[in-house]
């Protein structure tokens, strides 16, 4: 717990973000939780301690610094997840598969499963690829 707090502090520093209560808390959430978080999860898990607007702005700041990224989901909801350490501002190397459980609705990063390469038709230029697998997770089985 303590070391995660320490780590959050360091990450904020490293990214030239001023260290505030909301940022420490929200970044801490990401460090503590396995999978991805939706905006609503964050509000809930922080006990609505922070203004909705602050959460939006905090997430946006994290995105701009490349600390987190969005995971596309077939249903409307956007989820956010920590980027890997080698994410630089604007470009992600977050090349593992994401798993969405249809039972508990949680999004898990399958860090051990790499997104496979694909061959695109002639003329298409690839900059990023994502893979979302839906099913039942190990906890809901």
Partner DNA sequence: GTAACTGCAAAATATTTGCATCCTT
Partner DNA sequence: AAGGATGCAAATATTTTGCAGTTAC
Nearer to DNA among residue 78 and residue 111 (C-beta): 78
Residue 50 within binding range of DNA, rule CB under 7 A: yes
Of 18, 41, 17, the C-alpha closest to 29 is 41
Q: Tell me the C-alpha distance between 127 and 27, whole Å.
A: 27
Beta bridge partners, 81, equal: 69
Among 34, 51, 64, 139, binds DNA (CB under 7 A): 51
Nearer to a second copy among residue 21 and residue 139 (C-beta): 139
Q: Tell me the C-alpha distance between 103 and 8, whole Å.
A: 31
Smallest distance, DNA to C-beta of residue 135, A: 23
Residue 58 within binding range of DNA, rule CB under 7 A: yes
Residue 23 within binding range of DNA, rule CB under 7 A: yes
Tokens at residue 84, please?
Answer: 């890997």
Burial of 45 (0-12, 13-18, 19+ CB in 10 A): middle
Q: Which one of a second copy, DNA, none interacts with residue 104, CB within 5 to 8 A by kind?
A: none
Q: Are 79 and 42 in contact (CB under 8 A)?
A: no
Residue 45 within binding range of DNA, rule CB under 7 A: no
Q: Which one of a second copy, DNA, none interacts with residue 54, CB within 5 to 8 A by kind?
A: DNA
Tokens at residue 26, please?
Answer: 């929200």
Residues engaged in binding DNA (CB under 7 A): 12-13, 17-23, 39-40, 49-54, 56-58, 60-61, 76, 78
């Amino acid at each position: 717990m303590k070391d995660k707090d320490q780590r959050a502090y360091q990450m904020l520093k490293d990214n030239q973000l001023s260290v505030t209560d909301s940022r420490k808390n929200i970044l801490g959430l990401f460090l503590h939780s396995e999978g991805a978080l939706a905006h609503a999860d964050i509000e809930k898990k922080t006990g609505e301690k922070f203004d909705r607007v602050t959460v939006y702005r905090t997430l946006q700041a994290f995105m701009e610094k490349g600390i987190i990224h969005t995971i596309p989901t077939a249903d409307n909801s956007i989820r956010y997840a920590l980027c890997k350490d080698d994410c630089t501002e604007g470009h992600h190397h977050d090349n593992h598969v994401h798993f969405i459980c249809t039972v508990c609705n949680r999004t898990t990063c399958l860090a051990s499963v790499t997104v496979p390469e694909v061959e695109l038709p002639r003329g298409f230029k690839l900059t990023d690829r994502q893979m979302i697998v839906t099913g039942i997770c190990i906890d809901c089985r």
